[in-house]
Amino acid sequence: MAGKPRVAFYWAGSCGGCEIAVLEIRERILDLAQAVDIIFWPVAMDFKYQDVEAMEDGSIDVCFFNGAIRSAENEHLARLFRAKSKTLVAYGSCAHEGCIPGLANLSDREGIFEVVYRENPSVENPEKLVPVTRYDLPEGEVELPTFYDTVRTLGQTVPVDYSVPGCPPQAHQSWAVFEAFVKGELPPVGSVIGAGEKTVCDECEHVKEEKKVKQFFRIHEIVPDEKKCLLEQGIICAGPATRSGCGALCPTANLPCRGCYGPPPGVVDQGAKFLSAVASVVDANTEEEAARIVSQIADPIGTFYRFGLAASLLRRRKLDQ
Amino acid sequence: MAQNGFEPHIVAFLCNWCTYAAADAAGISRMQQPLNVDVIRVMCSGRIDPSFVLMAFLEGADGVIVSGCHPPGDCHYGEGNYKTFRRMPLLERLLQDYGIEKERFHWGWISAAEAPKWAQLTKEFTSRIKELGPLEWKGYLKEMESEEA
């Protein structure tokens, strides 16, 4: 490509952690700024949407898009950046698989508004107001983007070229991804980049022996042995059903993997594989005992799909109509 | 009889050695069965990944059956069915979390010698799903993903 690659960063439905994750490369951000032209980055630099709208289609070389698609504004920007970018990267778990915002798919707009604007004990809203998309003020009509019933991933909204998993992506992985783009050393379109090809267990140094679990614990209910496999101690760990690449960050701190790097290669539904892996190690030889032990697992859908609900096969909960 | 002519689509994952043999015997013996059940033969009920069941519901099943060899001793592979009875109670809860009525999912055991039990299950399960009505997962997703405020 002629001149420096033109790069954009954007955030949609996300917490902002992926923006911090870019800065986690620390002083190398200066090398990055040398190697590329950053032409859009709302968190760090002052650009307007109109600046992007004015660009020619395909004039951005790479757009790193983080955040899920939760509102009409998110979708508009996803379509805009798809049109303007040669390469669109789903950067981070929200864009890749919906992440924590995707858990909103257990409810819908009405249910979420009810809790957030009316029911929460800390809310003071005597008139019971909730946001509307259009409202007439004396100064004229004001508009808010539509809040969707269902959170979608970036890839469910527009075609995505690459995905970088992680909540957030780890700094060494982000750096490797930026380098690959600058050098033009990229795998085939559609690949997951900035991650491994195995599972978190492969990177985890806890000693793994035979997995036989008689009792499950939540993390506040047990002080785990620092050497033994956490799953073997009855702590629900997503390691067996999660892509490697983070360096087993959470298990190294003696906390179970929660699954943020998404499904390993070849897995279509991370939650189903996670459930299957956990249930298989239950040490029960009768149906009654197995049922009793698995009943100790609280909130199956929130546990097994903490990061992947929006990208799962069924995508959301069916609500009573 | 079908309510409003609704004919449910039911997917049954059956192990090769027990329930599939029972279903086969039920057919050969000309036992009356509803036409709503599509059988998918797998080598062992322990082979049935929970994602198979989710995929069936996504792709239009109104009900799903998982059936294998009676525990403890019937499994051709020793303890494949142990995996089944460890996984299925949890999958049952997951399906309810997804808002799928628990009556739409049946799991259990039918041996090769229990052809009448298979024929009976297909009848009872089909009429139960007819009562519940269609699931239409993809239609529901489409409705919930439309941009209409």
DSSP assignment of A228-254 equals B-TGGGTB---GGGSBS-S-SHHHHTT
Beta-carbon separation of A279 and B86 below 8 A: yes
Q: Which residues of B touch A147 (CB under 8 A)?
A: 149
**pLDDT at residue A255 in the model:** 96
Q: Which amino acid is at B137?
A: W
What is the average pLDDT value for chain A, to the nearest integer? Answer: 95
In a domain, B3, yes or no: no
With a CB cutoff of 8 Å and minimum separation 6, the contacts of A110 are none
Q: For A210-263, how does the pLDDT look when each residue is reduced to its tens digit (9 = 90+)?
A: 999 999 999 999 999 999 999 999 999 999 999 999 999 999 999 999 999 999
Residue A321 has pLDDT above 80, yes or no: no
Contacts with B85 from chain A: Cβ below 8 Å: 284, 287, 290-291
Domain that holds residue B133: 8-145
CATH code, B14: 3.40.50
Contact residues on chain A for B136, CB-CB shorter than 8 A: none
Residues A139-156 have a mean pLDDT of 96
Select from A279, A297, A314 the Cβ nearest to the Cβ of B98. A314
pLDDT of residue A187: 94
Instruction: State yes or no: pLDDT of A1 exceeds 70.
Output: no
pLDDT value at residue B120: 98
Mark yes or no for CB contact A149/B82 under 8 Å.
no
User: Residue A142: what pLDDT?
Assistant: 94
Chain A hits for B137, CB-CB cut-off 8 Å, are: 314, 318
Establish if B103 belongs to a structural domain: yes
CA-angle at B10, arms to B4 and B15, nearest 5°? 160
Q: What contacts B55, CB < 8 A, 6 or more positions away?
A: A268, A269, A313
Across the interface, do A275 and B91 touch by the CB < 8 Å criterion?
Answer: yes
Pairwise CB contact (< 8 Å): B94 & A285 = no
Give the count of domains, chain B.
1
Global pTM? Answer: 0.94
Q: List the single residue in A with minimal CA-CA distance to B100.
A: A318
The pLDDT assigned to A143 comes to: 94
B149 contacts A146? CB cut-off 8 A: yes
Q: Is the pLDDT of residue A2 over 80?
A: no
Q: Work out the minimum CA distance from B35 to partner chain A, whole angstroms.
A: 26
Of the candidates A266, A214, A204, the one whose C-alpha atom is nearest the C-alpha of residue A238 is: A204
Task: Look at residue A47 and give its three-state secondary structure.
Answer: coil
Quick: pLDDT tens for A249-298. Answer: 999 999 999 999 999 999 999 999 999 999 999 999 999 999 999 999 99
Could you read off the pLDDT of A252-261 as tens digits, one per residue? 999 999 999 9
Residue A5 has pLDDT above 50, yes or no: yes
Weakest mean pLDDT among A29-43, A160-174, B96-110? A29-43
Mean pLDDT computed over A51-78: 96
Answer whether residue B2 is part of any domain.
no
Looking at residue B147, its pLDDT comes to 62
Domain-located, residue B52: yes
Low-confidence stretches of chain B (pLDDT beneath 50):
1-2, 149
pLDDT at residue A247 in the model? 96
What average pLDDT does this structure show over A189-215? 96
| pLDDT > 90: percent of chain A | 95
Query: Which residues of A make CB contacts under 8 Å with B?
Result: 72, 75, 106, 108, 133, 146-150, 152, 268-269, 271-273, 275-276, 278-280, 282, 284-287, 290-291, 294-295, 297, 299-301, 304, 312-320
Amino acid B2: pLDDT: 47
DSSP state of B49: -
Instruction: Establish if B1 belongs to a structural domain.
Output: no
B68 vs A105: CA distance, rounded Å: 33
| CB spacing of B89 vs A273 below 8 angstroms | no
* Backbone angles phi and psi of A168, in degrees to 5: -90, 175
Provide the chain B residues 69-128 that lie in CB contact (below 8 A) with chain A: 71-72, 82-83, 85-87, 89-91, 93-94, 97-100
Total Cβ atoms within 10 A of residue B72: 14
Show Cβ contacts of residue A81 under 8 Å, excluding neighbours closer than 6 positions: A8, A10, A52, A60, A63, A65, A88
Q: For residues A275 and A14, what is the distance between their CA atoms, to the nearest angstrom?
A: 26
Long-range contacts of B34-39 (CB under 8 A, 24+ apart): B34/B122, B34/B123, B34/B126, B35/B7, B36/B7, B36/B8, B36/B9, B36/B10, B36/B122, B36/B126, B36/B129, B37/B10, B37/B11, B37/B12, B37/B65, B37/B122, B37/B125, B37/B126, B38/B9, B38/B10, B38/B11, B38/B12, B39/B12, B39/B14
pLDDT for A3 equals 82
What does the pLDDT read at residue B149?
44
Average pLDDT over residues A173-199: 95
Structural Rg of chain A based on CA atoms: 22
The domains located in chain A, with CATH, are 6-100+151-183 (3.40.50.700), 105-148 (no CATH), 200-304 (no CATH)
